[in-house]
């Protein structure tokens, strides 16, 4: 998975001291560009806010969409995108975290417990808790973006964004007419005294 500056610069933190707001960090050994931790945490927060939106939505607002597929038996199938996203979010998180991190993820993110309750329940101190939360956000942000074959992060692609297909043979692209040159419009000016 190659990360590009065009996809990381918009979600990077401008005050980040590691990437200076670019979103990519270069390693000195190999010279490869890796996403900064602020970008990974931002990806996690975007996916988590969409998860919370889907979970808090009324069930009668859930849509059933008809999706076309190129299968042998059926050409169409029904899907509930909100429920699929919530299930994918939880299952991917469970598979990619170890037991201790998943307990923190479940208590803090899924059940909504604050840091005091989590520290008391897990018998850890505050520093350990927050370092674990940052590690969870970074790890899941990377997993959500690099998941194959369909990632969770570009949310518009997951929820049925624009699908680019090539045109059939014999079709040509319609070119737009060039805009005619118009004279410049000068609004009347009034002197302010």
Q: Has residue 130 been placed in a domain?
A: yes
pLDDT band at 73 (very low <50, low <70, confident <90, very high): low
Classify 42 as helix, strand or coil.
Answer: helix
ω before 149 within 30° of 0 (cis)?
yes
Q: Has residue 2 been placed in a domain?
A: no
Q: Has residue 54 been placed in a domain?
A: yes
Q: Which two tokens mark 60?
A: 């009668």
Query: How far is residue 52's CA from residue 21's CA, in Å, rounded to a whole number?
Result: 27
Q: Has residue 46 been placed in a domain?
A: yes
Q: Has residue 193 been placed in a domain?
A: no
Q: Has residue 188 been placed in a domain?
A: no
Residue range of the domain that includes 77: 37-158
pTM higher than the cut 0.75: no
Q: Has residue 145 been placed in a domain?
A: yes
Q: Has residue 20 been placed in a domain?
A: no
Q: Name the average pLDDT for the chain.
A: 79
pLDDT, one tens digit per residue, over 137-168 is 999 999 998 888 778 888 877 777 544 445 45
pLDDT, one tens digit per residue, over 103-114 is 999 999 999 999
Number of domain units in the chain = 1
Q: Which two tokens mark 1?
A: 């998975």
């Amino acid at each position: 998975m190659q990360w590009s500056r065009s996809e990381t610069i918009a979600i990077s933190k401008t005050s980040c001291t590691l990437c200076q707001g670019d979103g990519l960090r270069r390693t000195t050994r190999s010279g490869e560009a890796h996403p900064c931790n602020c970008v990974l945490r931002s990806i996690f927060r975007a996916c988590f806010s969409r998860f919370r939106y889907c979970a808090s939505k009324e069930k009668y607002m859930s849509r059933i969409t008809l999706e076309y597929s190129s299968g042998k038996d059926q050409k169409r199938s029904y899907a509930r995108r909100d429920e699929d996203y919530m299930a994918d979010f939880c299952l991917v998180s469970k598979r990619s975290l170890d037991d201790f991190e998943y307990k923190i993820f479940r208590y803090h993110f899924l059940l909504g417990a604050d840091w005091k309750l989590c520290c008391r329940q897990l018998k850890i101190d505050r520093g350990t808790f927050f370092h674990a939360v940052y590690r969870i956000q970074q790890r899941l942000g990377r997993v959500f973006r690099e998941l194959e074959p369909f990632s969770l992060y570009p949310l518009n692609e997951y929820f049925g964004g624009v699908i680019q297909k090539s045109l059939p043979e014999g079709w040509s692209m319609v070119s737009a007419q060039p805009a005619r040159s118009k004279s410049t419009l000068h609004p009347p000016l009034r002197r302010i005294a």
